[in-house]
Amino acid sequence: DYSKLENHARHVNSNYHQVHRLNQFINGIKQLIQLHNHIHECRQLCKKGALNEAKNLYETIENLINNEYLFPHSNDKFYQQHYPLYETFQKYVRQLRTDICQTHHTLWNDGVDRTTKNQLKLNLNYLDQLFQCIFHEEKGERLLMEKNIQTFASYCFQGFIHILIEKKMKLVIDVETTMVLIRMENNEEIERNDIEEFDETLNYLKKFFDVLNIHLLSRVMKIQTSKEKSVESVSIMNIYSSTIANDFIELIRESLLNIIPNDFQYIEIFRSLLQTVTDFEKYLIEIKFFSANKISSVISSVVGNIDESIIKSRCRTYLFQSRQLLQSNAIITTSLKTIEIGDDEQLFKQNEQDKEKYKNETSSNILSSTISLDELDANMFRFPRTTIVEHVYEYMEFIRTVLQEADQLENYGAHLCATARNMMELFHVIYANLHERKAQEFPYLTALHFNTYMYVAHVCLILGEEYYHLKTKTGDGQPITFVDYVPIFRNQAANLLKSQLDIQRDILTSFIKEIGAFHNIVDEDDNQDILKRAINQCIMHMENLSHNWRNVFSPQVYFKVIGYLCDHVSHILIKETLSLEDIPEKECQIMVDVFTQWSTFLQNILVKDDLSPGLNILARLSPNLTRFNELCLVLNSSLQNIVDRWFNGQGPLASQFTALEIKQLIRALFQTSERRTAALAKIQ
C-alpha cells in the first residue's frame, strides 16, 4: 500500500544522503592532505628558485584554503574557537607568501650580482626564472620589482656610468651562455687628450647599454592588474630610463661642455667627438632609453656652433684662471709680494708735439673727439709711483691680454669683451672678501691695498679708451668700458683707509687722554712723566706709521695721512691748553719743553722730508700744525711779544687764534696787573 511505499522511499533517501555526505567527507580529507602536500612542495620550489611553478602552485593552495566545505565561513563563536586546523593552515600560507616574496628578492639579487666593487654579474638563468612569472599588482609584487629596477638603475649610474666618465676607466665585458660579466679596470694605455678619452668613454658606454639591453633591459614584466585581472606588459627599459635618463643627460652635457677645446687646433678632433655623440644619441633612442618625443640632439645641442663654443670655452677657462689667481693669494702676510708701478714724475708734461700727434689721428678716439686736450688735467690719466700687490698687477695684465685677443678675432670677440668685464666683476667680489678684514689689522697692509684699489680704479679709467675701437666687435656696437667700476674701487680704497685712520686716531687720542687734566702737571713728578710719556708715545707711534707707509704710499697720499694724524694730535693739545684757566710758570715751562719736542718732530717728519710738498700744501693739509707752532711761541713769550704778534688783529697770531682764545691764554699765563689789563684791551 501507499504508506509502506512512502516509508521505504524515506529509508532509501536517508541512505542516499548519508552516502553522499560520506563521499564528501572522504574528498575533504583528501583535499586537506593535498593542501598539506602542496604547501610543502611550494616551499621546496621556493628554495630551488622555481618561482613560476611555486606561484602557480600557490594559486591552487589559495583555492583550497578558501574552499567553503573545508573551511566554512561561520560566525559561530564556538565553531571559531575550536577550529585550530584552519589557523594552522593559514599560518603556513602566510609563511609561504613571505617565502615567495623573498624568492623574488633572491632571484633578482642573484640575477644582477653587485657584491663586487666595479663589477656587475648577470646570471641569465635566474633572470629567466624571474621574468617568466606574472607579477600581481594587488599583492605588491609590481611595486617590489619596480623598486628593485630603480635601485639597479641608480647603481648603474653611480657605480658604472659616473665612474667611467669621471675616472676615465675602461670597460671589460665577458659574455657566456648563462653568465654576463661587466667590470671596470684602470686604463693603462698611452695618455691622450680629454677629447679622445671622452670619445673612448662614449664607446664604452654604448657597449654597456648594449649588453644591458640585450640581456636585461629589453625584457618585460607581465603584470596582473587588481581590478580587471588582465595581464599587461611593462618594459623594464621604461622603468630604468625614467629613473636615470635626466641625470644621465645632464652628466653627458656637463662633461661635453668641460672638454670643449679652447684652441682651434683641436677642432677636427672635437668634430669627430660630436659625431660620436650624435651616433650615441641615435642608439639610445633606438633602444628606447630616450623616448621618441624627446627633442632630438638633446646632448649634442649643448655645443651649438663649434667656433663659438671654442671661444666660450676659452672664456670659461679665463674666468677659472682668474679665480685661481685671486684665491692663490688668499692668505695675506706682511711679506706679500709687491711691485712698484706708476710714473716717477709727479706731474705729466705733455708737449705740443704730442698734442698734434693725437689731433692728427684719423682713427676715432674718445678723448680727441669729445674733449679738448688743453682742458684736461695732465694727471688725470697718470698714476703716481706706488707699491701694489703683485698678483693684482698680473690680474690687470691678464684682462688686457683678453682684450688684445678679442681685438685679433674676426668673429665672436664680443664674448671675450664680456669676459673681461666679468673678470673685473670677479675681482670686485672676491678680492674684498679675501683681504679687507685682514688689511684693517695692519697699517702696512692698509696702505698696500689702498694703492691696489686705486691702481685698479686707474686701469678701469683708461682701459675703455685704450680699446675703444673694439666697439665694432661688441654685440650692441657700444664701446667697451670699465668706468662704472672707478667709483666702486675708489670708494673701497677710501673706506679702507678711513677705517685705518680712525683706528690710529683713536690710539693717539688714548695716549693724550692718559694725561688727564693739564692743570695738575706740576704737582707731582709722576704727572710730569705722564705728559712726557704721552708725547713720546705719540712720536714713536707716528714714526712707526711713517716707517710702514713712506715707501708704500705715493708722496701725495703719504703726507695727507701723516699730516691728518699729526694735525689731530696737535688739535687735541691745543684744545686741552685753551681749556686751562690757570697755567703756573713751572707748569708752563714743562708744557713748552714737551710741546717743543712734538713741534720739532713735526718739522722733521713733514717739513724737512726730502719728498715734502712744501709749507703751503702742508698748511692746507694740516691747518693745526701752524696753529700749534704759534701756541708754543705764546707759551714761551712775554706779554708784550704776544701783543706784538697779534698786531691789532693783523699779525701771525691773529691768523691762527681768535681774540677770545688769546685773551683766555693771557689770563691763564699772567697774573692780574695793569699791564695784563692793557694787553687784554689791545686784543680785539
DSSP string across 145-203: HHHHHHHHHHHHIIIIIHHHHHS--EEEEEE-SSEEEEEEE---S----HHHHHHHHHH
Confidence of residue 208 (pLDDT cuts 50, 70, 90): very high
Confidence of residue 227 (pLDDT cuts 50, 70, 90): low
Which of 459, 489, 519 marks a domain boundary? Answer: 489
Longest dimension (CA), the chain: 180
Residue 592 near residue 635 (C-beta atoms within 8 A): yes
- CA-based Rg of the chain, rounded to a whole angstrom? 48
Measured distance CA(274)–CA(256) in Å, rounded: 9
- The 10 Å Cβ neighbour count of residue 570 is 24
Name the least confident of 21-30, 288-297, 346-355, 674-683.
346-355
Residues 98-122: tens digit of each pLDDT: 777 777 777 788 888 888 888 999 9
Residue 356 lies in a domain: no
End-to-end Cα, the chain, rounded Å: 170
254 and 402 co-located in one domain: no
Q: Which residues of 440-464 are buried (b: 16+ CB within 10 A; e: fewer)?
A: bebbbbbbbbbbbbbbbbbbbbbbb
pLDDT at 366: 44
196 and 147 co-located in one domain: yes
- The 10 Å Cβ neighbour count of residue 438 is 15
Which of 303, 318, 353 marks a domain boundary? Answer: 303
Q: Which helix (H) or strand (E) holds 84?
A: helix 84-111
Residue 209 near residue 182 (C-beta atoms within 8 A): no
pLDDT at 545: 92
31 and 8 co-located in one domain: yes
Residue 74 pLDDT exceeds 70: no
441 and 517 co-located in one domain: no
Rounded mean pLDDT, 609-613: 74
Residues 544-595: tens digit of each pLDDT: 999 989 888 988 888 889 989 998 998 988 888 888 888 888 888 888 888 8
pLDDT at 346: 42
Confidence of residue 137 (pLDDT cuts 50, 70, 90): confident
Q: What are phi and psi of 67, to 5 degrees?
A: -70, 125
Residue 367 lies in a domain: no
Residue 639 lies in a domain: yes
Domain hosting 39: range is: 2-88
Residues 6+ apart with CB under 8 A from 631: 573, 574, 577, 595, 657
Residue 259 lies in a domain: yes
126 and 12 co-located in one domain: no
Residue 268 lies in a domain: yes
465 and 522 co-located in one domain: no
637 and 673 co-located in one domain: yes
Rounded mean pLDDT, 329-351: 60
Residue 93 near residue 61 (C-beta atoms within 8 A): yes
Residue 374 lies in a domain: no
Q: Which helix (H) or strand (E) holds 560?
A: helix 555-578
pTM of the model: 0.68
435 and 509 co-located in one domain: no
475 and 513 co-located in one domain: no
Residue 105 lies in a domain: no
Site of grid cell 679652447 = 262
C-alpha grid cell, residue 644: 706784538
- Ranked by mean pLDDT, which of 251-260, 373-382, 521-530 comes out on top? 251-260
Residue 399 lies in a domain: yes
C-alpha grid cell, residue 288: 628606447
Which of 429, 459, 489 marks a domain boundary? Answer: 489
216 and 318 co-located in one domain: no
Q: Name the CA dihedral angle for 444, 446, 451, 457, rounded to a multiple of 10 degrees.
A: 170
Measured distance CA(638)–CA(634) in Å, rounded: 8
Mean pLDDT of the chain: 80
Residue 55 near residue 134 (C-beta atoms within 8 A): yes
C-alpha grid cell, residue 229: 585581472
Provide the percentage of residues in the chain whose pLDDT is more than 70.
81
Measured distance CA(235)–CA(220) in Å, rounded: 4
Measured distance CA(472)–CA(464) in Å, rounded: 13
Angle, CA 49 vertex, CA 44 and CA 53 arms, to 5°: 70
Q: Which residues of 232-258 are buried (b: 16+ CB within 10 A; e: fewer)?
A: eebebbebbbebbbeebbebbbebbee
Total of domains in the chain: 4
Helix (H, G, I), strand (E, B) or coil at 214: helix
Measured distance CA(515)–CA(538) in Å, rounded: 12
pLDDT at 350: 44
Confidence of residue 228 (pLDDT cuts 50, 70, 90): low
Residue 352 pLDDT exceeds 50: no
pLDDT at 378: 54
Residue 518 pLDDT exceeds 90: no
How far, in Å, are 458, 462, 480 from residue 465 at the CA level?
A: 12, 5, 9
Rounded mean pLDDT, 217-222: 88
295 and 264 co-located in one domain: yes
Rounded mean pLDDT, 387-401: 90
pLDDT at 362: 43
Would you call 302 exposed, middle or buried from its count of C-beta atoms within 10 A (0-12, 13-18, 19+)? middle
55 and 75 co-located in one domain: yes
